[in-house]
Amino acid sequence: MLFLLLPLLAALFPGGDSEGGFEEPVSFYVIQTSSFHNHTWKHLGSGWLGELQTHRWNSSSGAIIFLYPWSRGNFSNNELMDLEKFFHTYFTNHQGFYISQLMFKDSFDLQVILGCELHSGKDFVGFLQIAIQGFEFMSFQNETFFPSPKGGEKAQKACLLLNLSPAFKHTIHKLISDIFPRFTLGLLDAGKTYLQRQVKPEAWLSSGPSPEPGHLLLVCHVSGFYPKPVWVMWMQGEQEQQGTQRGDFLPNADGTWYLQATLDVAVGEAAGLACRVKHSSLGGQDLVLYWGAPHRPLGLVFLAVIVALALLTGLGFWLRKYWTHREAPSSAFLLK
């Protein structure tokens, strides 16, 4: 079955090092944040396929909310209900565990991440990590809970108690090492049209805040592309400009990505520079934008203004004609 998966993974995460891209690990995980303030618990839960959120958890009904039509993967309703029941029991039990057994006092925040990750393209490895007040508290490996050094005595006590329950450890192990990996494969398959979609980037240039007198910061914006791997470089002819600085990938609300690449140059050296963008959606036709060349958006605005002026002038002529024609008969009538 993993053999079937490999071509899918290759399609999902194209672009090796040669293209300046990178491989993202395939993972599915659930993030839970629980806060206990003023004697009241608040729980938030979400499910993620890598960097894409696929599920939310309705904390008042305990129901899983599926964010995409394919978020059910290939699990039956019964299996999904079993998962809901599991999370419900788990949330109820853990509330008591932290308060009455570990004696945590009002108020504290708890973060849990549990899931599975594909390692070296063949085996899924399950993981579970718990943090309290933003510090690592304990983790789960090989069916055993391990305290984190920063967790102190409370973490040691928590692990001691949890490790005494083989049934709970086995359930967690089964969840992250069997159920989640099967669910992940089903998700990758059910969502492949969406996950393998190709969305072309748009690019535009601007100048940023001047780094020093006599210098320009050239900014190349690339936005709206999917999947994430992209190559953006300032070029002088065929020469890559090593001073190009890439920003962080920022997510757009529609699931596509934004990236900018900047270059600091002396004012006289900007001529002939171009920003070059390579992306799998472009089918080898790189986007190339020349610094100083007229931008298309400006050209369009200019065109729109000309058209509007022409229309207004036309309207003016027509109105003048209309009124002169109207006036003629009425004055003739008055003269009678």
* Least distance CB 164 / ligand NAG (angstroms): 18
Please, which residues have CB within 8 angstroms of residue 21's CB and are 6 or more apart in sequence? 14, 15, 229, 230, 231
Residue number with CB closer to ligand NAG (78 or 330): 78
Residue number with CB closer to ligand NAG (63 or 282): 63
| CB distance 238 to 248 below 8 Å | no
* Least distance CB 206 / ligand NAG (angstroms): 39
Residue number with CB closer to ligand NAG (101 or 141): 141
| Neighbour count for residue 225 (Cβ, 10 Å) | 25
* Least distance CB 189 / ligand NAG (angstroms): 6
Residue number with CB closer to ligand NAG (120 or 324): 120
Pairing relationship of beta strands 108-119 and 27-37 according to DSSP bridges: antiparallel
Residue number with CB closer to ligand NAG (23 or 189): 189
Residues in the chain: 336
| CB distance 104 to 36 below 8 Å | yes
Interface residue list for ligand NAG (CB under 6 A): 1, 38, 58, 60-61, 65, 74-75, 141-142, 182, 185-186, 189
* Least distance CB 98 / ligand NAG (angstroms): 19
Integer distance in angstroms from the first to the last C-alpha of the chain? 98
* Least distance CB 61 / ligand NAG (angstroms): 3
| CB distance 155 to 148 below 8 Å | yes
* Least distance CB 67 / ligand NAG (angstroms): 11
Residue number with CB closer to ligand NAG (91 or 204): 91
Residue 61: strand, helix, or coil = coil
Q: Which residue has the tokens 């020469």?
A: 239
Give dist(CA 248, CA 85) in Å, integer: 39
Q: Which of 178, 175, 173, 149 is nearest to 163 (CA)?
A: 173
